Amino acid sequence: MWWRVTIISLAYLLLGAHFLRFDQHVLAIIAMTLPLLMLIRHSFTHTLLKIGLLVSVVFVWSVSAFNFIDMRIALQQPWLRLAIIMLSVMVFTVFAAFSTNGLNQKLRR
Protein backbone atom coordinates (compact mmCIF):
# COMPACT_ATOMS: atom_id res chain seq x y z
CA MET A 1 0.00 0.00 0.00
CA TRP A 2 2.85 2.43 0.77
CA TRP A 3 4.16 2.21 -2.78
CA ARG A 4 0.77 3.21 -4.19
CA VAL A 5 0.73 6.29 -1.99
CA THR A 6 4.29 7.14 -3.04
CA ILE A 7 3.61 6.76 -6.77
CA ILE A 8 0.41 8.80 -6.66
CA SER A 9 2.10 11.51 -4.60
CA LEU A 10 5.07 11.67 -6.98
CA ALA A 11 2.76 11.98 -9.98
CA TYR A 12 0.95 14.93 -8.41
CA LEU A 13 4.21 16.55 -7.27
CA LEU A 14 5.54 16.25 -10.82
CA LEU A 15 2.38 17.90 -12.10
CA GLY A 16 2.75 20.67 -9.53
CA ALA A 17 6.37 21.23 -10.54
CA HIS A 18 5.25 21.52 -14.15
CA PHE A 19 2.74 24.21 -13.17
CA LEU A 20 5.39 26.03 -11.15
CA ARG A 21 7.64 26.14 -14.21
CA PHE A 22 5.01 28.26 -15.94
CA ASP A 23 4.26 30.45 -12.87
CA GLN A 24 0.81 28.98 -12.31
CA HIS A 25 1.05 29.02 -8.53
CA VAL A 26 -2.61 28.30 -7.77
CA LEU A 27 -2.66 25.18 -9.95
CA ALA A 28 0.67 24.09 -8.47
CA ILE A 29 -0.68 24.36 -4.92
CA ILE A 30 -3.83 22.46 -5.88
CA ALA A 31 -1.82 19.71 -7.59
CA MET A 32 0.58 19.39 -4.69
CA THR A 33 -2.15 19.19 -2.05
CA LEU A 34 -4.41 16.73 -3.90
CA PRO A 35 -2.49 13.69 -2.59
CA LEU A 36 -3.71 14.67 0.87
CA LEU A 37 -7.11 13.39 -0.25
CA MET A 38 -5.71 9.89 0.28
CA LEU A 39 -6.03 10.56 4.00
CA ILE A 40 -9.80 10.57 3.55
CA ARG A 41 -10.75 6.91 3.47
CA HIS A 42 -13.58 7.10 0.95
CA SER A 43 -13.81 5.60 -2.51
CA PHE A 44 -15.04 8.89 -4.01
CA THR A 45 -11.78 10.63 -3.15
CA HIS A 46 -9.75 7.87 -4.75
CA THR A 47 -11.89 8.10 -7.87
CA LEU A 48 -11.33 11.86 -7.87
CA LEU A 49 -7.56 11.30 -7.68
CA LYS A 50 -7.71 8.88 -10.61
CA ILE A 51 -9.75 11.25 -12.75
CA GLY A 52 -7.38 14.10 -11.90
CA LEU A 53 -4.36 12.12 -13.04
CA LEU A 54 -6.00 10.92 -16.25
CA VAL A 55 -7.17 14.44 -17.09
CA SER A 56 -3.64 15.71 -16.48
CA VAL A 57 -2.27 13.18 -18.97
CA VAL A 58 -4.67 14.33 -21.67
CA PHE A 59 -4.79 18.07 -21.09
CA VAL A 60 -1.39 18.84 -19.56
CA TRP A 61 1.26 16.28 -20.48
CA SER A 62 0.17 15.48 -24.03
CA VAL A 63 -0.35 19.15 -24.91
CA SER A 64 3.00 20.08 -23.38
CA ALA A 65 4.73 17.23 -25.18
CA PHE A 66 3.26 18.31 -28.50
CA ASN A 67 4.25 21.95 -27.94
CA PHE A 68 7.77 21.14 -26.76
CA ILE A 69 8.43 18.72 -29.61
CA ASP A 70 6.99 21.15 -32.14
CA MET A 71 9.28 23.88 -30.80
CA ARG A 72 12.31 21.58 -31.01
CA ILE A 73 11.48 20.62 -34.59
CA ALA A 74 10.99 24.28 -35.55
CA LEU A 75 14.39 25.16 -34.08
CA GLN A 76 15.95 22.17 -35.87
CA GLN A 77 17.11 20.64 -32.60
CA PRO A 78 16.99 16.96 -31.63
CA TRP A 79 13.58 16.04 -30.30
CA LEU A 80 13.53 12.25 -29.96
CA ARG A 81 14.93 12.20 -26.42
CA LEU A 82 12.33 14.79 -25.37
CA ALA A 83 9.58 12.64 -26.88
CA ILE A 84 10.80 9.59 -24.94
CA ILE A 85 10.95 11.57 -21.69
CA MET A 86 7.46 13.01 -22.14
CA LEU A 87 6.08 9.60 -23.07
CA SER A 88 7.66 8.19 -19.92
CA VAL A 89 6.03 10.90 -17.83
CA MET A 90 2.65 10.13 -19.39
CA VAL A 91 3.03 6.38 -18.83
CA PHE A 92 4.08 6.98 -15.22
CA THR A 93 1.05 9.21 -14.63
CA VAL A 94 -1.33 6.63 -16.13
CA PHE A 95 0.31 3.96 -13.95
CA ALA A 96 -0.21 6.20 -10.92
CA ALA A 97 -3.86 6.71 -11.89
CA PHE A 98 -4.48 2.99 -12.02
CA SER A 99 -2.62 2.53 -8.75
CA THR A 100 -5.58 4.20 -7.06
CA ASN A 101 -7.57 1.00 -7.70
CA GLY A 102 -5.60 -0.74 -4.97
CA LEU A 103 -6.50 2.00 -2.52
CA ASN A 104 -10.18 1.24 -3.08
CA GLN A 105 -9.61 -2.50 -2.59
CA LYS A 106 -7.90 -1.88 0.73
CA LEU A 107 -10.93 0.13 1.80
CA ARG A 108 -13.34 -2.76 1.18
CA ARG A 109 -11.47 -5.10 3.51
Amino acid present at 56: S
Query: Any idea what DSSP says for residue 40?
Result: S
Q: Give me the pLDDT at residue 1, please.
A: 76
Q: Give percent above pLDDT 70 in the chain.
A: 94
pLDDT digits (tens, 9 = 90+) for 59-105: 999 999 999 999 999 999 999 999 999 999 999 999 999 998 877 66
